[in-house]
Each structure stands twice: as structure tokens, then as C-alpha cells.
Amino acid sequence: MSGTSERRHVGREPFGARLRAAMDRVGPLCLGVDPHPGLLQSWGLPDTPAGLEAFSAAALEAAAGGSDGPLVAALKPQVALYERHGSAGLAALETFLAQAREAGVLTIADAKRGDIGSTMAGYASAWLDDASPLAADAVTLSPYLGFESLRPAFEAAARTGRGVFVLALTSNPEGASVQHVGAEQEQGSVASRIVAAAAAENAAHVGEDERELGPVGLVVGATVAERAHALGLDLAGVRGALLAPGFGAQGGTAAGMREGFGPAWPAVLATSSRGILAAGPSVSRLAEQLKRNLADLG
């Protein structure tokens, strides 16, 4: 880490502490910033890097909430929808991440990176190093080259006060063909092993307060949380945040998530994108939709 990076890191609380504080202050809502071509069109914006910037800026303005503070605990930009515009799209993402940082809103780069060795180290540097223009407060990771292959990202997150969210139990139909494998075996399902590994990783970073969150969170779909019990997943024991995409338009409800996550509910960060973004491009209508979602989550 460079001297500049070290200076930037001075005084930063760990990601888990910052996210817990944001969830306690605002509520457990994360806005997915997903500039789909269809949404851009419905907002009257061109499907160009300039359109992405305008879309992202409006979403951030609504989420930042004005003088009363943010209306969300975090923002989750979908990296692929910026990447498809090449370097100019990534520049739009860099601008968005910088603006969110200035506004005091946490960001989770939904990049789902996963590789081995120096390549994984490169991804970790890109998304978690202070010196990188793409650095977010956290990044999503894929563990399917082995949980331990993500070690460079775990180390970078711990070093810089950032976090990661590892895919564990997803709602796409294909996910079960990998994540449920081994459920009938003594060592448990693939998903249960990922959950156990995340818990072990967090153990060195959390204390006796059960609400304290470590740097390693998990991605668990809002509509499949009820499968956790059947697969033997101890989500409450992870001691990390549970990013739950699918709240709202994709069918996840507050009541369903509370029941599905059970004792792990205090760690859940419910994520909605289309259900909120459809209210745009009006910033005021976006803000009202955010408030309705927060009210639903209680």
C-alpha cells in the first residue's frame, strides 16, 4: 500500500461498523443502481456514458436524501451495466462512486469477481484499494474457484477498512445446481460450506456484541432465504451482513424475508432496484419510493 493510500485510510472505521451504523440510522435498505437500457429509455435518457452519468446522479441525489441525511444504508451499482460501454462507462462508474463517497453514502460494487492468484489480487486492488478510482466500500465476489481463492480480497478489505459480499445462496434457477450440491452428505452443501467459511473469516474481527458485523458478508437472495434452514445454513452465525437482492419487483417481501431469514434478520440488507428506479427520472418521486420501501421494511 502506498503512503498516499495509508494516509487516506487513517481514521476509517471497518466496513462492518460503518454499515451497521448506517442500517441503524436509516434502515436496512440498499438501492441497486442498475442502468438497464430499458430504464434509461423510460427516463428519456440515451443509452450512452452520458446517459449513465445522468441516471446515476439522479439515483444518488434521491438516495442522499437532502438535509435529513441518506434514505438508504448503501448503494449497489451493477458494474456490468457500466462495463458494456467500455472505458467511458467505467469512467461514469468512477464518477458515481466518487460522488457517493462525497455524499457520505456507502457503496457496494456489484462486480461478482472471482479468480486465483495474481489475477484475484488485481481484482482486489481494483475494487478495494484506496488508490484505485474504482474503489467502493465493498464488492461482491464469486467463490466458485474455491473460497480460499478470494484470500487477496479478504486481506485487502481488512487492510483498507472495506468489505466483501460472497455469493452463497442465489435466486437464479441455475444456482441450485451448484449451491445445493452435497446437501445430503456429511460435509453439507456447497452453500453451507461457504457460510461456514465466511463465519470463520469474521471470527477474528468481531467481539461479543451479536449485532457487530465483520468484513465478510454474504449474498442470499430475498426470495430464497427460506431454503437456508433446509440446507443447514447458520446465517445468524456468519456475523456479517447479508445482502438480499430481490426485494420489491422481484417478489421479495419484508414479511417473507423476516420469516425466511429468522434470527439472521438484523444482519439483512434488503436490496431493490427496478421497483424503485421505475419511479424516475423525478428525484422527488424516487425519494418517495425509497421512503415507502423503508416503511415496508419497518
Could you count the other beta carbons within 10 Å of the beta carbon of residue 37? 12
Question: pLDDT by residue (tens digit) across 144-200?
Answer: 999 999 999 999 999 999 999 999 999 999 999 999 999 998 889 999 999 999 999
In this prediction, residue 4 carries a pLDDT of 34
Which ranges of the chain have pLDDT less than 70? Answer: 1-11
Residue percentage of the chain with pLDDT more than 70: 96
In this prediction, residue 10 carries a pLDDT of 43
In this prediction, residue 232 carries a pLDDT of 87
In this prediction, residue 39 carries a pLDDT of 97
In this prediction, residue 251 carries a pLDDT of 78
Question: pLDDT by residue (tens digit) across 185-217?
Answer: 888 999 999 999 999 999 999 999 999 999 999
In this prediction, residue 1 carries a pLDDT of 33
What CA–CA distance (Å, rounded) separates 119 from 212? 31
CATH classification for the domain delimited by 3-297, as one of 3.20.20.70, 3.90.340.10, 3.40.50.300, 3.30.830.10 = 3.20.20.70
Residue spans of the domains in the chain: they are 3-297
Task: Catalytic residue, from 8, 12, 112, 285: name it.
Answer: 112
76 is catalytic: no
